[in-house]
Structure 1
């Protein structure tokens, strides 16, 4: 396994997870606010992956691991909100989501769509999309770390050849 292969696997994994999120959205599963939060670190990991393929050294792979860990952490937090292990943000899991909406807004067919963060809209094997995102993202953290370690090894080998 080479550094670049691991980077492509890690960034590609984030691209696949992000594409899956958009596919679910296209199929009629609108994202809640926390779902959207989970997408940003994947986008960052993709950009980091592209840069890491061009720039040697372990630091970009380390940044990719941080991005994957961030989306995994948000996924764990979101899972806890869905399972009522802890409170979620009032803006999408409590009364706060409905603040400012009138009765006619709530009854309107074309009114604002409120997607609650504490409701599971889809699950597989008792795990929600947020849970699957967390598991896959933590696996990607491992791939990023392997890429970083391979970067350190290749940097050392390169410096010993020039000495």
Structure 2
């Protein structure tokens, strides 16, 4: 069996967030435009990746591990929210999930202005799935794993990961 130190676990979690960000940019580069919630989900992963890098440079610090945990948990919350919006479990942001309230009372100019501000990609539509799970769903799953890694890192204990 082999073990990872708490510093290595934090660096691995940060690298996981960096990998998720890279995957998001690859999908974007091949034509899958992100919606507003997709963009929001990137920020906590960026923070977690930076925190993992800081841990590589500064060594293990509990405060860094706790910041990584907060970032990963935030990514998990946003991804879960987005996946729920896609599955129609709850409403998403009005401006990102279709529907412009008060259409009948809008002037032509107000309507055109609202349409110009509307996102190109809707938050409540799934653009890609793997095994029936959307990108937001996969982000939630991966973020849950990364949150667990950051929690293990914050506890400051070694974790047995597998056999050699």
TM tier relative to shorter chain: 0.7 to 0.9
More strand by proportion, 1 or 2? 2
Match of 1:95 among 88, 93, 99: 99
In structure 2, C-alpha distance between the alignment counterparts of 1:66 and 1:115, rounded to whole Å:
28
In structure 1, C-alpha distance between the alignment counterparts of 2:120 and 2:97, rounded to whole Å:
10
1:79 aligns with 2:83: yes
Structure 1 residue runs of 5 or longer lacking an equivalent are 107-111, 154-163
Partner of 2:161: none
Partner of 1:160: none
In structure 1, C-alpha distance between the alignment counterparts of 2:73 and 2:55, rounded to whole Å:
17
In structure 2, C-alpha distance between the alignment counterparts of 1:119 and 1:91, rounded to whole Å:
13
Partner of 2:65: 61
Deviates more, 1:10-19 or 1:92-101: 92-101
Count of residues in Structure 1 that have an aligned counterpart in Structure 2: 146
TM-score, normalised via structure 1 length: 0.81
Partner of 1:117: 123
The correspondence of residues 1-163 of structure 1 with structure 2, limited to 5 A, is: 1-53=4-56, 54-96=58-100, 102=112, 114-150=120-156
TM-score, normalised via structure 2 length: 0.80
Greater than 4 Å deviation, 4+ residue runs: 97-101
Deviates more, 1:43-52 or 1:126-135: 43-52
Looking at both structures, which has the greater relative contact order when contacts are Cα pairs under 8 Å and sequence separation is at least 6?
A: 2
CA contact (8 A) 2:76 2:144 kept: yes
Q: How far does the alpha carbon of each residue in 1:4-58 deviate from its partner, in whole angstroms, 9 at most, with x for none?
A: 2111110000000000000000010000000000000000111111222305421
CA RMSD of superposed structures (Å): 2.4
* Alpha-carbon shift at residue 69 of structure 1 (Å): 0.8
* Alpha-carbon shift at residue 113 of structure 1 (Å): 6.3
